[in-house]
């Protein structure tokens, strides 16, 4: 079976890191005999320049046909003067909405070799491996009515609506249970059920599903406590599932536990497990074109793509092991190098990951 993978290199360091990720994807496909058909399209600032829109129709057609999409990053100073509706970042929102990518998966993994980079004590975070599953297309960010209005007493007030339907809660919760079943077997559902009715319903629905997943242990936690526990003892978590706004905040907190933005992959999935995979970082215009970007977040996004959209868990694990191997060997790009430590460039890091993948050829 051939898998269609669409590459959207984007702007800034996007093309540099996607180029390395593409080489890794080719190498791992070769090793595991996966048939992957690669195509490429424009998204973001380059798409505005070349095709007049951040998410042009040609990209849309390819994205809808793809099994998985690998994105670099979009945006940069060249387009900062455009009105907000015309900026490169609009392309990202448009593709997420177009493909109904309702689940955002943000692993916070800290390779033990990089534990010193965290703002927390090394023993609290070394070996950290948690997965935050955030609902991405509902909740208070999208609820209606919303706006700013003037009250009878002349004061203005802002208002938003925090709303989740049973089916929206059920689909994200089921995904979290299924993912936990393939990992550590634990789900922590984060809510504010002591105050917000919408999250009382959230808790009720999530609890009701637990009997369908007897091998997964479910616990509930209020969001304020979850925030505290994430910085107190983050290794207690396996999979955290939560709504859009809480997930937004908690996933950034968890990301910072790992110390480097250049190491963090992400996935956004729809109901058919088709997905958009991208590093958490942006287009880093300050280092673009200098062979200084860390390609590992994008390479680890390839691992997620293999696992979640191509159903190739062994290939995914091989990519992750190859990354661990190069870190063990002491290779560091500038963003993860300790002071005084020699840094390698983007391409050299890609070379090293491919060498590690190929060196392990026979071991599956
Ligand atoms: P950024 O993530 O691009 O950069 C923040 C800092 O981290 C910079 O110092 C950068 O050099 C460094 N950095 C980021 N990725 C790195 C990597 N792989 N290796 C080494 N260092 C890395 O965030 P920003 O500076 O706030 O935004 C720059 C542009 O990116 C803006 O136009 C913004 O809108 C866009 N952006 C895009 C996305 C996306 O495409 N998903 C996400 C965030 C920001």
Rg, Å, the chain Cα set: 21
Residue 148's beta-bridge partner residues? 158
- Tens-place pLDDT, residues 185-229: 999 999 999 999 999 999 999 999 999 999 999 999 999 999 999
Which residue has a Cα nearest atom 6 of ligand 1?
284
Of ligand 1's atoms, which has the minimum distance to the CA of residue 335? 20
> Can you identify the CATH homologous superfamily of domain 129-257?
Isopropylmalate Dehydrogenase (3.40.718.10)
Strands 275-279 and 68-73, how do they pair?
Answer: parallel
Answer whether 341 contacts ligand 1 (Cβ < 6 A). no
**Residue 160 alpha carbon to ligand 1 centre in Å:** 29
Instruction: Name the residue with tokens 């590093």.
Output: 279
Query: Looking at the chain, which residues constitute the CATH 3.40.718.10 domain(s)?
Result: 1-111+260-364, 129-257
Cβ pair 180, 163 in contact under 8 A: no
Return the SS3 of 32: helix
Exactly one of 129, 141, 222, 291 is catalytic; which is it?
Answer: 141
The question of whether 141 is a catalytic residue gets the answer yes
Answer whether 284 contacts ligand 1 (Cβ < 6 A). yes
Q: Which helix (H) or strand (E) holds 69?
A: strand 68-73
CATH fold of 1-111+260-364, please?
Isopropylmalate Dehydrogenase (3.40.718)
Which residue has a Cα nearest atom 1 of ligand 1?
282
- Tens-place pLDDT, residues 2-44: 999 999 999 999 999 999 999 999 999 999 999 999 999 999 9
Q: Which helix (H) or strand (E) holds 355?
A: helix 346-359
Instruction: Name the residue with tokens 């191997």.
Output: 325
Strands 156-159 and 147-150, how do they pair?
Answer: antiparallel
pLDDT in tens, the chain (364 residues): 899 999 999 999 999 999 999 999 999 999 999 999 999 999 999 999 999 999 999 999 999 999 999 999 999 999 999 998 899 999 998 999 899 999 999 999 888 888 887 889 989 998 899 999 999 999 998 899 999 999 999 999 999 999 999 999 999 999 999 999 989 999 999 999 999 999 999 999 999 999 999 999 999 999 999 999 999 999 999 999 999 999 999 998 988 888 778 999 999 999 988 999 999 999 999 999 999 999 999 999 999 999 999 999 999 999 999 999 999 999 999 999 988 889 999 999 999 999 999 996 444 4
Return the SS3 of 276: strand
The question of whether 192 is a catalytic residue gets the answer yes
How far apart, in whole angstroms, are the C-alpha atoms of residue 4 and residue 201? Answer: 38
């Amino acid at each position: 079976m051939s898998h269609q993978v669409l590459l959207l290199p984007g702007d800034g360091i996007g093309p540099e890191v996607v180029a390395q990720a593409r080489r890794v994807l080719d190498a791992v496909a070769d090793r595991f005999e996966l048939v992957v058909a690669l195509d490429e399209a424009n998204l973001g600032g380059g798409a505005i320049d070349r095709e007049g829109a951040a998410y042009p129709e040609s990209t849309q057609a390819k994205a809808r046909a793809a099994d998985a999409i690998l994105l670099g990053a979009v945006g940069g100073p060249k387009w900062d003067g455009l009105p907000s509706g015309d900026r490169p970042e609009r392309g990202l929102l448009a593709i997420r909405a177009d493909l109904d990518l309702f689940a955002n998966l943000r692993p916070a993994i800290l390779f033990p070799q990089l534990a010193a980079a965290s703002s927390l004590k090394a023993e609290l975070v070394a070996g950290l491996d948690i997965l935050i599953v955030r609902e991405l297309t509902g909740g208070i960010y999208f609820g209606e009515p919303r706006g700013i209005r003037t009250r009878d007493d002349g004061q203005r007030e802002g208002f938003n609506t925090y709303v989740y339907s049973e089916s929206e809660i059920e689909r994200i919760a089921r995904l979290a249970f299924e993912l936990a079943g393939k990992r550590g077997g634990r789900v922590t559902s984060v809510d504010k059920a002591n105050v917000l009715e919408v999250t009382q319903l959230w808790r009720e629905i999530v609890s009701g599903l637990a009997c369908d997943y007897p091998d997964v242990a479910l616990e509930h936690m209020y969001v304020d406590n979850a925030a505290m526990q994430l910085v107190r003892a983050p290794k207690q978590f396996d999979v955290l599932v939560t709504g859009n706004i809480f997930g937004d905040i908690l996933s950034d907190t968890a990301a910072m536990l790992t110390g480097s933005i250049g190491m963090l992959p992400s996935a956004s999935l729809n109901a058919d497990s088709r997905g958009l995979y991208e590093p958490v970082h942006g287009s880093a215009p300050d280092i673009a074109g200098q062979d200084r970007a860390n390609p590992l977040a994008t390479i680890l996004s390839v691992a997620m793509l293999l696992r979640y959209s191509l159903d190739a868990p062994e290939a995914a694990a091989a990519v992750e092991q190859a990354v661990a191997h190069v870190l063990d060997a002491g290779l560091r790009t500038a963003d993860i190098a300790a002071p005084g430590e020699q840094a390698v460039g983007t391409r050299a890091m890609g070379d090293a990951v491919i060498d590690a993948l190929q060196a392990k050829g026979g071991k599956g």
